[in-house]
Amino acid sequence: MHEPLKLARNSSGRVYLEVHRDVYHRTGADLPDALAAIDAAGLNGMVDLSHVTEVVARAWGTPEDVTPNPGAPAVSPAKGAELVPATGP
């Protein structure tokens, strides 16, 4: 089964995102896919969007914690908003 994106929440409330590269050249996972999965799971306020963006860009294929750090504000994009990964200098 080809699952380029997996999302899970553990019993302590931590949210994990796993993104795989599209080695089969079918349908890879991108940021809109990740945001849609987060929204469908009702986890919008429980993730750090900068972490989500980084995990999608890396696509290491391992579960990565995308829960906000304690004290960091949990934000979610406005409906119709588009997130664009930051680029280096």
Q: Flag whether pLDDT at 7 surpasses 80.
A: yes
Express each pLDDT in 19-76 by its tens digit. Answer: 988 766 666 678 999 999 999 999 998 999 999 999 999 988 899 999 998 554 444 5
Q: Where are the domains of the chain?
A: 5-65
pTM of the model: 0.71
Residues 5, 41: contact at Cβ < 8 Å?
no
Alpha-carbon span 86 to 15, nearest angstrom: 22
